[in-house]
């Protein structure tokens, strides 16, 4: 079999699979792989809370360097997800999983003791590379450890933990920063990765692989294309979506992806055969996950700003206040498979996407005077919608590919989550900041003009200037908060409109009532 998907070679005789682990060992694999997935997303999310401290640290990073301290992890992670899945299919998912946990631990340790910005960037990128080895191979190991009849359940639990990882990262990150400096965020990841490594070595089985060569040229072209795409998405809100740098990044990404498609179609052993995207079920799964993560990461981007600046919550309280969402997501994920079997996967998916949109609509009515219980209700609805839909969408991707390519399928699944999260932050942040600046009252604009370039885009910066202008004017503070929540409503409704329109495609493309699962090979 190939390192990618080769439709023409479907008739090749697969290797016989090893026997499945015992039920107790399966539970251990499920807990370990799900925990590792949560660690990957939590490590990426927690650093956002430490931006202020890193900016003023002894490293003295520039504004651009601060941005890339955050994003170097995400860029390395996103670029390497699909190649990492292919490495697992070729050399063993367990071996790549163990390597990924070791690299994550080393990268995190290097980040914690970094004496310069350059070393910190290298440490973050190394941790991201380790995360890229972990995520797709953790799902592939999980699927390979369970019988076909239990794949839906295993994927649902893994999906739930991956989905709540960002929320848990924010929560634990807030607690850590309450008592320690920013280096502790990286330090804590080291023992967690080591524990994951030991449990993976003990619990997980060795799965069958293939002997065909890796398509190194295809992997290189794909990494370049993904880097250009992520660079454009990350820099878009800062440089402007019509800037030459951002447009150049997107044009480069489009040309490189075209070159990748042409290159792969000529290969005997492609990294990723473009013809797999003829499957509407696979496309439905990929598009649906992108939409779900745009919505969830819009909430993650919004949560701290809204609760801390519009309601005056502390960082720790703001982190705890989002807990109802991941709890609802985890519960709904556990129910999605059962509901899919009872009512049909397509119908359950449609319900989930509709509930997700309802949550976004409810959230858009929040104001500075909205009670927390209403806010909690809105984010619980978002969690239920994501929880019902995400496992079915992930199963659609995994089940569309032959079992000997589970690593590549897992890489596609993980990559769509990464793109959805990056798009969510970039899209929502751009609309929110622009709408906020347009809605600030004239008296607030006059007070803040010339004092801080970000004052007209950031509620936090606006409030800081108002509070340091002498006697605090409650009317100006409230006016700025209202401008923010009005802008928040605009951004949420734009995301809702995009989600609603694309959901029609997702549901129509999705397979039959029950997505067929491939036989293990």
Q: Which residue has the tokens 């290097």?
A: 110
Q: How confident is the model at residue 376 (pLDDT cuts 50, 70, 90)?
A: very high
In percent, the amount of the chain with pLDDT more than 70 equals: 90
Q: Is the pLDDT of residue 456 over 70?
A: no
- Highest average pLDDT, of 37-51, 248-262, 464-478, comes from 248-262
Task: Kindly state the average pLDDT of the residues 60-78.
Answer: 84
Pull the structure tokens for residue 286.
């990929």
Q: How confident is the model at residue 124 (pLDDT cuts 50, 70, 90)?
A: very high
Residue 268, burial from CB neighbour count under 10 angstroms (0-12, 13-18, 19+): exposed
Closest residue by Cα to residue 48 from 163, 233, 161, 176:
176
Specify the pLDDT at position 520: 37
Backbone angles phi, psi at 92, to 5 degrees: 115, 125
Which of 123-127, 146-150, 231-235 shows the lowest per-residue confidence on average (mean pLDDT)?
Answer: 146-150
Q: Which residue has the tokens 């052993």?
A: 269
Q: Is the pLDDT of residue 448 over 70?
A: no
Residue 320, burial from CB neighbour count under 10 angstroms (0-12, 13-18, 19+): middle
Q: Is the pLDDT of residue 244 over 50?
A: yes
Cβ atoms of 108 and 185 within 8 Å: the answer is no
pTM score: 0.83
How many whole angstroms from its chain centre is CA 97?
19
d(CA 333, CA 9): 35
Q: Is the pLDDT of residue 449 over 70?
A: no
d(CA 466, CA 260): 52
Specify the pLDDT at position 14: 42
If phi > 0 it is left, if psi is from -120 to 50 it is alpha, else beta; for residue 489 that is: alpha
Task: Kindly state the average pLDDT of the residues 264-274.
Answer: 88
Count Cα neighbours of 263 within 13 Å in the Cβ-side half-sphere: 17
Closest residue by Cα to residue 193 from 94, 294, 103:
103
d(CA 90, CA 2): 8
Q: Is the pLDDT of residue 274 over 80?
A: yes
Longest dimension (CA), the chain: 78
Cβ atoms of 346 and 504 within 8 Å: the answer is no
Mean pLDDT, the chain, whole residue set: 85
Specify the pLDDT at position 15: 44
Q: Is the pLDDT of residue 147 over 80?
A: yes
Which of 42-56, 143-157, 264-278, 363-377 shows the lowest per-residue confidence on average (mean pLDDT)?
Answer: 42-56
Contacts of 13 (CB under 8 A, 6+ apart): none
Give 256-268 as a DSSP string.
HHHHHHHHHHT-S
How many whole angstroms from its chain centre is CA 327?
17
Higher pLDDT, 302 or 402: 302
Closest residue by Cα to residue 349 from 124, 156, 77:
156
Contacts of 18 (CB under 8 A, 6+ apart): 205, 206, 207, 208
Q: Is the pLDDT of residue 468 over 80?
A: no
Model confidence pLDDT, tens digit, residues 281-330 = 999 999 999 999 899 888 888 888 898 888 888 877 887 888 899 899 98
Q: Which residue has the tokens 């065909």?
A: 212
Q: How confident is the model at residue 170 (pLDDT cuts 50, 70, 90)?
A: confident
Which of 188-202, 435-449, 472-486, 488-502 shows the lowest per-residue confidence on average (mean pLDDT)?
Answer: 435-449
Model confidence pLDDT, tens digit, residues 329-373 = 989 998 998 898 899 999 999 999 999 999 999 999 999 999 999
What ranges make up the beta strands (E) of 317-462?
A: none
Q: How confident is the model at residue 471 (pLDDT cuts 50, 70, 90)?
A: low
Q: How confident is the model at residue 451 (pLDDT cuts 50, 70, 90)?
A: low
Pull the structure tokens for residue 454.
């970000």
Higher pLDDT, 291 or 178: 291
Closest residue by Cα to residue 92 from 202, 204, 193, 7:
204
Specify the pLDDT at position 385: 95
In percent, the amount of the chain with pLDDT more than 90 equals: 41
d(CA 496, CA 20): 43
Task: Kindly state the average pLDDT of the residues 13-18.
Answer: 46
Q: Which residue has the tokens 């709904």?
A: 332
Cβ atoms of 381 and 349 within 8 Å: the answer is no
Specify the pLDDT at position 348: 94
Specify the pLDDT at position 171: 79
Q: Is the pLDDT of residue 151 over 60?
A: yes
Q: Is the pLDDT of residue 517 over 50?
A: no
Pull the structure tokens for residue 418.
């990464």
Closest residue by Cα to residue 292 from 246, 349, 231, 370:
349
Specify the pLDDT at position 2: 38
Specify the pLDDT at position 4: 41
d(CA 193, CA 130): 10
């Amino acid at each position: 079999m190939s390192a990618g998907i080769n439709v023409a070679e479907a008739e090749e005789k697969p290797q016989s699979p090893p026997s499945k682990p015992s039920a107790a060992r399966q539970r251990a694999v499920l807990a370990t792989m799900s925990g590792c997935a949560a660690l990957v997303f939590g490590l990426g999310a927690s650093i956002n809370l430490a931006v202020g401290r890193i900016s003023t640290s002894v490293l003295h990073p520039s504004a651009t360097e601060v941005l890339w301290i955050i994003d170097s992890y995400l860029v390395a992670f996103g670029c390497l997800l699909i190649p990492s899945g292919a490495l697992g299919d070729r050399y063993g998912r367990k071996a790549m999983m163990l390597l990924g946990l070791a690299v994550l631990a080393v990268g995190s340790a290097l980040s914690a003791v970094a004496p310069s910005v350059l070393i910190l960037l290298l440490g973050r990128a190394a941790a991201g590379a380790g995360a890229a080895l972990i995520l797709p191979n953790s799902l592939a190991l999980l699927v390979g450890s369970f019988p076909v009849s239990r794949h839906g359940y295993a994927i649902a639990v893994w999906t739930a933990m991956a989905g709540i990882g960002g929320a848990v990262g924010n929560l634990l990150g807030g607690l850590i920063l309450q008592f320690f400096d920013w280096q502790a965020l990286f330090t804590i990841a080291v023992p967690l990765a080591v524990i994951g490594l030991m449990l993976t070595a003990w619990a997980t089985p060795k799965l069958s692989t293939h002997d065909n060569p890796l398509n190194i040229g295809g992997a290189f072209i794909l990494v370049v294309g993904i880097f250009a795409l992520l660079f454009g998405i990350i820099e878009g809100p800062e440089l402007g979506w019509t800037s030459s740098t951002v447009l150049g990044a997107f044009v480069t990404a489009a040309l490189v992806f075209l070159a990748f498609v042409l290159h792969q179609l000529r290969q005997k052993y492609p990294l990723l055969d473009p013809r797999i995207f003829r499957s509407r079920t696979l496309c439905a799964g990929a598009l649906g996950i992108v939409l779900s993560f745009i919505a969830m990461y819009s909430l993650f981007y919004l949560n701290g700003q809204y609760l801390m600046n519009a309601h005056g919550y502390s960082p720790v309280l703001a982190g705890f206040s989002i807990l109802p969402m991941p709890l609802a997501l985890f519960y709904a994920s556990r129910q999605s498979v059962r509901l899919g079997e009872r009512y049909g996967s397509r119908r359950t998916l449609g319900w989930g996407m509709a509930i997700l949109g309802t949550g976004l609509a409810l959230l858009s009515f929040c104001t500075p005077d909205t009670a927390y219980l209403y806010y909690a209700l809105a984010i619980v609805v978002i969690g239920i919608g994501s929880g019902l839909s995400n496992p079915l969408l992930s199963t659609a991707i995994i089940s569309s590919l032959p079992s000997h390519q589970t690593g590549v399928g897992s890489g596609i699944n993980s990559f769509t989550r990464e793109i959805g999260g990056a798009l969510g932050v970039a899209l929502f942040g751009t609309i929110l900041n622009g709408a906020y600046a347009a809605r600030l009252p004239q008296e607030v604009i006059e007070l803040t003009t010339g004092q801080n370039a970000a004052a007209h885009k950031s509620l936090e910066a606006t409030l800081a200037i108002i509070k340091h202008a002498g006697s605090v004017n409650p009317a100006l503070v409230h006016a700025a908060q209202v401008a923010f929540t009005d802008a928040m409503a605009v951004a949420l409704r734009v995301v809702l409109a995009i989600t609603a329109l694309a959901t029609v495609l997702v549901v129509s493309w999705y397979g039959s009532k029950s997505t067929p699962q491939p036989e293990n090979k």
